[in-house]
Structure 1
Amino acid sequence: MRGDGAASRWRRVAVGVAALLVGAAAVPGRAVAEPSAGPAPATPVCEVRDPRLTEISGLAATDGGFVVVNDGADDESRRRIFFLRSDCAVLRAVPYPTRPRDTEDLAVGADGSIWVADVGDNDRSRLTVAVWKLAPGADRPVLYRMAYPDGPHDAEAFLLTGDGRPLIVTKYSAGLYAPATALRPGATVPLARVGQVRLPATTTSNPFGGLGRTAVTGAATAPDGRRVVLRTYADAFEFEVTAGDVVAALTGGTPRITPLPDEPQGESIAYHRDGRSVLTVSETADQPPGTAPRILRYPLGGPAPATPAEPTPAPAEPTPAATATASGQRDVVAHPAAIVAAGALGVGAVVIVGLVAVRRSRRR
């Protein structure tokens, strides 16, 4: 996500008001999970000083360091798969053979292949989304295109199932989509909706208020494949996986919560190679000049698994018609959950949006 300073200030004001409304009335269908103690502090691992890496949207840990990608950047030099050493220095950068649209997350396959999820769609206008697969030692990723069965979605989180099948998690409603047939280069395969995640509510502090605790911005799989984690701008939710069935874990499991408080714009998460901690990194495009992205390490554990509320229909994803867009600025999207909260407070006609979805507006 990126935007100029004015857009950032407007975003924070709008989100703050929305957070006050939503915080006073619980969103139906989400149990509130409160940590029994304060969150464990993060340990800084290293700073990413390369000027091309200020919009990191995907992170993975390897035996020798890290792999990262930016989201869809205007600068051609930023459109790379970056391999970092353990001190965050760039070791090599692999370009794409054609221009990606909006790369948002990545994963490492069992064979060491790097999968990059080109699934961002702020305007929900893409006819297809894609994944790029970079085989070990290769210098050219292969493109695979996919199409949603129910219209476009914005997504920033991506996983691989136990059998190596891609799994997309949409940003606003946590819908799960997987290819209905085998991926084929040069072809577009249909996606199938395979489930929906219902994350418990938290009260973790973050720059985006209520929105930050609901928008799914990243995902990762543990090295042993027995756990997966989803993150929002505020928290990490870890699920136990049985027999490689990631969909069953996400749709039927009870997550263990690790708070990630007050990260500037946390969109990335990965498991450390030890499997006992997670790594995160924030975008810094909106931060003061000279601010470098820092990879942080959080011990896993947190409060006991939260018990989800009885299933209820999740709020619908914001529609493009509800989006107020200013050229070069972020979008502000109305979310039905805030309207529910405002009604519970007895507030009349709510003009300002509820849960505000902060989204990049690309310079075409």
Structure 2
Amino acid sequence: MGRRGNGTRRLRVAAGTVVVLAATMAPGAAVADPSPAPVPGTPVCEVRGGRLSEISGMAATDRGFVMVNDGADDEARRRIFFLDDRCAVVRTVSYPSRPRDTEDLAVGADGTVWVADIGDNDRSRQTIAVWKLPPGADRPVLYRMAYPDGPHDAEALLVTGDDRPVVVTKYSANLYAPSAALRPGTTAPLVKVGQVRLPASTTSNPFGALGRTAVTGGATAPDGRRVVLRTYADAYEFDVADGDVVAALTGGTPRVVALPDEPQGESVTYDRDGRSLLTVSETAGRPPGTMPRILRYPLPAAVSSPAPTATPGPTTPAAGAGAARSGGGPYLVVAGALGLALIAVGLVALARARRARSR
């Protein structure tokens, strides 16, 4: 979610968000397979010790888990944390310089840990970055990247089988990938390679309509044949053919796993056997003594699905085009309802920010 310099946390409602949400849920978006009624996740373990209260990225490993906080003000929390299978911290790795806003984490096929330093609540960063920690290394290496069209806020990272990072922006679900090799000391240009169109959702979550569309994390299955993106409300799993992650996200039909009422769910990973999803929420601002809990959700079986009505490709039709095809009626109703929901979300976020400042 990101963090301001004064420590005040917020769910940022950016200018143009209403348009983004309407486009995301417009007629023609991918239709997900039916999913069962939302069921809370099964607790796996609690993360103790107090240093991991703002978990923004998590990956499962053969020995346990790797986690990062987002842009923590406390230096002791700015680490890459390695945990055992009971959620006890067994090792930490420091950064050689201060990261800006670490928002996701992935582990590549060779065991390299990728930390996505891509958060930008205020949309003011000239570059974003990934930190790579090879197996056995004691310091991660920084690799900078730059968007072609100005700053974006992002909280999700996927790493393809050929070690290409794919950044997913938070509110528009645009996909960006480097057009040149990542090299220390240089800035690799990013190119837009597509956009994800998530299905509509009604899953209960603390942030209402906005929480159902804000992309807060991503992960790749151990076999590389599936990827998942999550919001504050749901997880969307896509099948990957021939290693083409972008084609899967832009043209595939996802299976939905509801993640109901997680306090502030920003992390997702596959279990090591690939049969379930694991999630964890931030607990900053929760009652004293509240510990982050890893939750397990079973995955629905893969079934053959009809092709999505959206045209696969690196770009998506404008929201207005979808409205014209449908006659405009349902689209206007959805857009109006979303506008009212966003007003409510904004008021709640403002109230939370004021309470945070008063503490």
**TM-score range normalised by the length of the shorter chain:** 0.7 to 0.9
Cα contact 1:35–1:302 (8 A) shared by 2: no
Give 1:313 shift: 2.2
Amino acid at match of 1:112: G
Q: CA 1:157–1:65 in 2, change beyond 3 Å: closer, same or farther?
A: same
**Where in structure 2 are the equivalents of 1:32-43 lying within 5 Å?**
35-43=34-42
Q: Which residue of 2 aligns with 1:250?
A: 249
Q: Which residue of 2 aligns with 1:225?
A: 224
**Where in structure 2 are the equivalents of 1:239-318 lying within 5 Å?**
239-301=238-300, 308-310=308-310, 312-313=317-318
Deviations 1:41-97 (A, max 9, x none): 411010001211100000000000000000001001100000001110100110000
Give 1:38 shift: 1.7
Q: Distance in 2 between matches of 1:123 and 1:44?
A: 34
Q: Is 2:160 the counterpart of 1:155?
A: no
TM-score in terms of structure 2 length: 0.82
Give 1:289 shift: 1.4
SS in 1 for 2:171: coil
Give 1:134 shift: 0.2
Amino acid at match of 1:353: I
Q: Distance in 2 between matches of 1:214 and 1:40?
A: 19
Could you list the runs of 4 or more consecutive aligned residues of structure 1 that deviate by over 2 angstroms after TM superposition?
Answer: 1-4, 26-37, 302-315, 339-345, 350-363
Cα contact 1:31–1:306 (8 A) shared by 2: no
Q: Which residue of 2 aligns with 1:119?
A: 118
Q: Is 2:82 the counterpart of 1:92?
A: no
Q: Which stretch of structure 1 is more off in the superposition, 28-37 or 156-165?
A: 28-37
Name the structure with the higher helix share.
2
Q: CA 1:45–1:108 in 2, change beyond 3 Å: closer, same or farther?
A: same
Q: Percent identity?
A: 69
Structure 1 counterpart of 2:343, from 346, 353, 359: 353
Deviations 1:206-232 (A, max 9, x none): 111101110000000000000000000
- How many residues align? The count is 326
Give 1:162 shift: 2.0
Q: Distance in 2 between matches of 1:243 and 1:343?
A: 37
Q: Distance in 2 between matches of 1:11 and 1:172?
A: 11
Q: Distance in 2 between matches of 1:358 and 1:217?
A: 17
Q: CA 1:344–1:88 in 2, change beyond 3 Å: closer, same or farther?
A: closer
SS in 1 for 2:167: strand
C-alpha RMSD of matched pairs (Å): 3.4
SS in 2 for 1:104: strand
Q: Which residue of 2 aligns with 1:328?
A: none
Q: Distance in 2 between matches of 1:154 and 1:11?
A: 12
Q: CA 1:253–1:118 in 2, change beyond 3 Å: closer, same or farther?
A: same
Q: Distance in 2 between matches of 1:185 and 1:137?
A: 19
Q: Distance in 2 between matches of 1:306 and 1:204?
A: 24
SS in 2 for 1:297: strand
Q: Which residue of 1 aligns with 2:175?
A: 176
Amino acid at match of 2:140: P
Q: CA 1:302–1:172 in 2, change beyond 3 Å: closer, same or farther?
A: farther
TM-score in terms of structure 1 length: 0.81
Q: Distance in 2 between matches of 1:58 and 1:199?
A: 21
SS in 1 for 2:114: strand
